[in-house]
Structure 1
């Protein structure tokens, strides 16, 4: 009886695998990738077009669960041509168990990160595995690049998602009121800012009773990591009288693991209210974008049909000699 059930299971797996081939799995992966890419684009554009109405947090809270489901499906689709469905089911169960354990143990101390990283790591390992399988195939270099380029794109988008999830949930921000010549510190952030100078001036053509259309205040500062100075720059606070609004310039310092964002919120005399935001792992987003671009370029290059080699020029002299020889042979026969 056990043999009968085992044989039935093997037949079922065999029938399932007939409908699951590399083409269908890759098509499903492309669909998952397209949906993820669309979610990323919408997430980037919503804060730009809606401003404070719908911020990044509003969008992230509503898309995190479907995004994780799609990422899990992407990893599953990548493994379908390589493993039988029964083994893939076991892998998915293992990922679910790892996610539950991660939430319980909470190694990062952040529930969103603990719940998302196991799924994202599963997708990344699936991408790397399929990329490795594409590279070791006995094919020409062009065909290998063509096979591996979609997986490079997938790797880029997974890195972007890791960067977005981690940086969003570990981001630290705060403001400090700093006098000129003093150093301001920020709770929970390893950076401090020293204001080295505050200067102001009018700019533009005269407007109403003002000698200029805008009033600019320039804040010079030094950025410190602990007691070590790492950069020196400036930000500006601009009041536009003509349009009746104020705006600022921003400063961004990027390192291998963090991004520091600084902008003034208010300036009064020799005092400035300076806002700082530290976003760890934001570099993964930029790295993912670069990797994804490389994959797209490789894919476009490899799918381009190679030019047909030019036809060899006919040897006119040879043709003439053959024609002459045939004519002589004909005359001899006469």
Structure 2
């Protein structure tokens, strides 16, 4: 009697993962080619921003993360339990989308799925410990790569949907507050000077204004910073430097938009991005996992035992052979020699 192959198996999960990846690739490719096709067909230039890709890639990405959780659990628990966990994750996501605890639909959908997948990955890392040191490193390294991917996705979702930005105009000595942010800026001074070699009728190739300011966090002094506003005569353009402070839980970004030097007036932009370190941490985890996996594989290849035997009359000095093709060939030769010996014996009796 032929038994039916279960629906939840490695082949089907691999097929589903490949199909979802192809769908994501199709969405991204269409988004990249649409402006080019529109320009060639009608001469109209269009631009598709990040929101276009976010809206269309959200569902396939969520499905991909669910598949990752399923693959992580496969082989470590019963299929029934895997189905319950994945179904529970999907139900939790649906409830979160309805109740909207974060007040943001992308976060309401993404956070539960990513949280379940992260817990599953940590569970798999814990189960990777083995008496064989190389197997332990190999297993943990592979799962560090998975964990890095999840952290990158989590960092993108949280930082892009929780960032707060605002701009203010202030004079020298003034303190500026920014809406929705716990940081304030006090403009200390602005000083300008020419820099570079003389250019045409100008005494130098550029004109630079140094802008010094103090940053206050929750009403208390936090840091001192400086940015530059540069007018380049040679290239006919104006650009600025930026101030970036990366903390444990957030990133602070400050940049000047415009200055009125005669009035001592500055138009400054500030952005606070929470949880951006998940993205950088995910990249580091991926790099560590890839390097560790490469090292262990290289060591295994270079230290593989030689499948030869040093045979003596007493049988001493035989090396332990690695099961494989050479061992099978040697076993075949032994059986063949035994068969030939039996045939010779039969002929002698005749």
The answer, yes or no, to whether TM exceeds 0.5 is yes
Q: How much has 1:171 moved relative to structure 2? A: 0.6
1:110 aligns with 2:100: no
CA-to-partner distance for each residue in 1:158-212, whole Å, 9 max, x for gaps? 0111111011001100101011111111000010011111111111122232211
Q: Deviations over 1:225-283 (max 9, x none)?
A: 01222211101111112211111111111111110100011011211111001000001
**CA contact 1:260–1:277 (8 Å) conserved in 2:** yes
1:123 to 108, 117, 127: 117
- In structure 2, relative to structure 1, the CA distance for the partners of 1:209 and 1:33 (3 Å cut) is farther
Question: What is the aligned counterpart of 1:172 among 164, 170, 177?
Answer: 164
User: Tell me, what secondary structure is at the counterpart of 2:225?
Assistant: strand
Structure 1, unmatched stretches of 5+, are 1-7, 43-51, 311-334
Separation (CA, whole Å) in 1 of partners of 2:285 and 2:19? 18
Gapped regions of structure 2 (runs ≥ 5)? 30-45, 307-350
Relative distance call for 1:83 and 1:309 in structure 2 (3 A) is: closer
1:16 paired with 2:6, answer: yes
Equivalent position of 2:302 in the other structure: 306
- Measured on the aligned residues, the alpha-carbon RMSD in Å equals 3.2
In the alignment, is the contact (CA less than 8 A) between 1:32 and 1:74 conserved in 2? Answer: no
C-alpha change, 1:257 and 1:29, in structure 2 (3 Å) is farther
TM-score, structure 1 length as denominator?
Answer: 0.76
Which of 196, 204, 213 is 1:212 aligned to? 204
Q: CA contact under 8 A between 1:33 and 1:74: conserved in structure 2?
A: no
Which secondary structure does the structure 2 equivalent of 1:94 belong to?
A: helix
SS across alignment from 2:259: strand
- Alpha-carbon separation, structure 2, partners of 1:292 and 1:35: 22
Secondary structure at the counterpart of residue 83 of structure 2: helix
- Return the alpha-carbon distance in structure 2 between the equivalents of residues 88 and 196 of structure 1: 60
Residue of 135, 149, 152 corresponding to 1:143: 135
1:233 equivalent among 222, 225, 231: 225
- CA gap of 1:28–1:156, structure 2 versus 1, over 3 A, is farther
Aligned pair in 2 of structure 1 residues 36, 201: CA closer, same or farther (>3 Å)? farther
In 1, are the aligned partners of 2:93 and 2:112 still within 8 Å (CA)?
A: yes
Give the TM-score normalised by the residue count of structure 2. Answer: 0.73
Distance in 2 between residues matched to 1:77 and 1:68, nearest whole Å: 14
CA contact (8 A) 1:258 1:282 kept: yes
Instruction: Say if 2:173 is the partner of 1:154.
Output: no
| Paired position in structure 1 for 2:89 | 95
Residue 73 of structure 2 corresponds to 79
- 2-structure distance, mates of 1:131, 1:55: 38
Aligned residue number for residue 280 of structure 1: 274
Helix, strand or coil: the match of 1:160?
A: helix
Tell me if structure 2 keeps the 8 A contact 1:214–1:239: yes
Aligned residues: 285
